[in-house]
C-alpha cells in the first residue's frame, strides 16, 4: 500500500516523501499554513479566510477525492476526511493528507455501490463517519462523500460539525436565518452561490448516510409544499418550482415568502438543486 501511495501525484494531495515502517512514521511535504481546521478556528489569531477561498477549497478537496476514488487498479478511500486532514500551503492551496491511513478496496462489480471490505472496528473521526458505515462496517467511496458534505458546511459556518447539518437544513430556505449561520468574518457571501454550496453539502450526506422518511426540506417548493420538478431562483433569492412561481408572478409583484416587493420578475434555473432532486428521485 505504501509503495502505491508514494507514487500517487495530484495537486491536491499532500506528497508522501517517505516512511519508516519500523517506527510507524510517514514523512510528508511541509505545508506552512497549517490545517483548514486551524484556519477556520483562527488559531493563533490568524486572519479569517475569505469566502471565495473557501469555495475554492471545497472544489479542490472534491477533485482530490474523485482522483482517489477513480484510482487503478482499485479505488482508494480516505476514511477520515475532516478539516484537520486538509492542509494549506503558503498560497492557501489545499491538499488532503493522511492518505497513508487510506484503504484500497475491491468493488464487487463495476456498478456496485458497496465494497467487499467489511471492518470489525471503525476507522475515522466519529462526527464525520457516515451512519451506514457505523451500522454495517461496510465502507465505500460514498463514506468519503458523506464526510465531504460535513466539511462543506463547516467551510460556510466555521462551526463544530455537531448539529450543523440540522441547523442548515432548518434554515436554508429562509434568507435571514440562513445568513445568520454564515461565518461573517469571511466577507460578503453571495446568497445564491452559498445556498447552492450548502445544498451540495446537505445532499452529500443525505445521499449516503441517511434514509429520511421524506425529502430534504430544501427540495420542497414554498408555494406547492411538495418536491420541485424544475427548481428556479426568483429575485427574492428563494427557490420555487418553475410553474408555481410563474403562476404567482402573473398576478403578484411581491415575494410569496417574505411578502416584500420584488425588484424584478426574472427567474433563474437552479441546476445544482435540480441535479440533486433527480438523483434523490432515482434512488427511491
DSSP string, 25-84: EEEE---TT-BHHHHHTTGGGPPPPPHHHHHHHHHHHHHHHHHHHT-SSS-EE-S--SGG
The pLDDT, as a whole number, for residue 101 is 57
Same domain, 49 and 90: yes
The pLDDT, as a whole number, for residue 265 is 94
In a domain? residue 211 = no
In a domain? residue 144 = yes
The pLDDT, as a whole number, for residue 17 is 83
Same domain, 147 and 167: yes
Catalytic-labelled residue, pool 38, 80, 85, 264: 80
Q: Let me know: does 97 contact 79? Beta carbons within 8 Å.
A: no
In a domain? residue 154 = yes
Q: Let me know: does 86 contact 119? Beta carbons within 8 Å.
A: no
Same domain, 256 and 197: no
d(CA 145, CA 8): 20
pTM: 0.70
- pLDDT averaged per 10 residues in sequence order, the chain, 284 residues: 72 86 82 94 93 96 93 84 94 85 54 44 68 76 91 96 90 89 96 92 74 73 92 92 95 92 93 85 73
d(CA 14, CA 21): 19
**Full domain range(s) for residue 242:** 217-283
Same domain, 224 and 186: no
80 has catalytic annotation = yes
Same domain, 113 and 239: no
The pLDDT, as a whole number, for residue 1 is 57
Same domain, 119 and 250: no
Same domain, 189 and 262: no
Domains of the chain: total: 2
CATH of the domain at 126: 1.10.510.10
Same domain, 240 and 153: no
Same domain, 224 and 84: no
Same domain, 64 and 151: yes
In a domain? residue 273 = yes
Amino acid at each position: 500500500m505504501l509503495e502505491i501511495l508514494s507514487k500517487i501525484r495530484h495537486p491536491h494531495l499532500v506528497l508522501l516523501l517517505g516512511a519508516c515502517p519500523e517506527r510507524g512514521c510517514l514523512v510528508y511535504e511541509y505545508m506552512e499554513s497549517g490545517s483548514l481546521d486551524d484556519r477556520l478556528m483562527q488559531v493563533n489569531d490568524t486572519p479569517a479566510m475569505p469566502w471565495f477561498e473557501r469555495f475554492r477549497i471545497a472544489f479542490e478537496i472534491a477533485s482530490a477525492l474523485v482522483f482517489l476514488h477513480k484510482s487503478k487498479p482499485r479505488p482508494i478511500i480516505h476514511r477520515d476526511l475532516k478539516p484537520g486532514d486538509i492542509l494549506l500551503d503558503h498560497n492557501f492551496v489545499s491538499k488532503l493528507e493522511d492518505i497513508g491511513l487510506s484503504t484500497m478496496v475491491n468493488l464487487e462489480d463495476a456498478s456496485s455501490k458497496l465494497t467487499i471490505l467489511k471492518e470489525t472496528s471503525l476507522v475515522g473521526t466519529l462526527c464525520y463517519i457516515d451512519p451506514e458505515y457505523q451500522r454495517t462496517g461496510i465502507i465505500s467511496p460514498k463514506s468519503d462523500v458523506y464526510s465531504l458534505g460535513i466539511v462543506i458546511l463547516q467551510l460556510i459556518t466555521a462551526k463544530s460539525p455537531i448539529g450543523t447539518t440540522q441547523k442548515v437544513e432548518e434554515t436554508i430556505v429562509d434568507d435571514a436565518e440562513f445568513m445568520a449561520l454564515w461565518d461573517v468574518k469571511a466577507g460578503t457571501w453571495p446568497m445564491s452561490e452559498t445556498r447552492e454550496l450548502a445544498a451540495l453539502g446537505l445532499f452529500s450526506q443525505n445521499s449516503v448516510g441517511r434514509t429520511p422518511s421524506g425529502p430534504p426540506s430544501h427540495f420542497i417548493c414554498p408555494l406547492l409544499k411538495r418536491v420541485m420538478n424544475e427548481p428556479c431562483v426568483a429575485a427574492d433569492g428563494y427557490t420555487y418550482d418553475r410553474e408555481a412561481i410563474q403562476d404567482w408572478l402573473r398576478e403578484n409583484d411581491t415575494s410569496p415568502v417574505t411578502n416584500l416587493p420584488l425588484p424584478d420578475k426574472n427567474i433563474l434555473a437552479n441546476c445544482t438543486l435540480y441535479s440533486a432532486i433527480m438523483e434523490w428521485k432515482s434512488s427511491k
